[in-house]
């Protein structure tokens, strides 16, 4: 996700100190081992529901059916997004993850999709934070 207020408009993951450190400190308290451990029952339930959803198919694509949706859903919950907004996070995740690939391997359309996803997610998170503050 591109970061406003930094010298460059690049993804937070590629920023150097002090911008990277400042932004990392803002979110790291949501990603502690204790917080994840406290979500263990929810995560187990989520894994079971993802697996159950594939039971009738008789097959499982480990990436598409489990390894992709699981962390996106957990991150949505860690950031305080309500369950009904999880589809938004899933829609943003693919173009944002793709934007982390080397620039020469992604098309201009993918760059635009990632920029749009970053803008939408930034707007969403800003409104979520504002609602939480109120």
pLDDT per residue as tens, the chain (134 positions) = 444 444 444 566 677 888 888 878 877 877 888 988 999 999 999 999 999 999 988 889 999 999 999 999 998 888 888 889 999 999 999 898 888 877 778 888 998 998 899 899 989 988 988 888 88
CA distances from 88 to 8, 11, 24, 48 (A): 26, 19, 23, 22
State whether 125 and 102 are in the same domain: yes
The b/e string for 24-42 (b: 16+ C-beta within 10 A; e otherwise) is eeeeeeeeeeeeeeeeeee
Domain range enclosing 107: 87-134
| Number of independent structural domains in the chain | 3
State whether 91 and 133 are in the same domain: yes
State whether 91 and 132 are in the same domain: yes
State whether 2 and 43 are in the same domain: no
């Amino acid at each position: 996700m591109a970061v406003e207020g930094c010298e460059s408009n690049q993804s937070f993951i590629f920023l150097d100190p002090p911008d990277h450190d400042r932004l990392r400190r803002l979110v790291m308290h949501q990603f502690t081992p204790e917080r994840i451990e406290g979500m263990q029952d929810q995560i187990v339930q989520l894994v079971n529901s993802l697996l159950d959803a594939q039971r009738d198919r008789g097959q499982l694509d480990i990436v598409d059916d489990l390894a992709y949706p699981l962390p996106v859903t957990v991150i949505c919950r860690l950031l305080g997004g309500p369950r009904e907004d999880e589809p938004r996070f899933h829609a943003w995740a693919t173009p944002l993850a793709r934007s982390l690939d080397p620039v020469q391997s992604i098309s201009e359309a993918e760059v635009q999709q990632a920029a749009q996803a970053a803008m939408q997610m930034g707007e969403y998170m800003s409104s979520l934070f504002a609602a939480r503050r109120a």
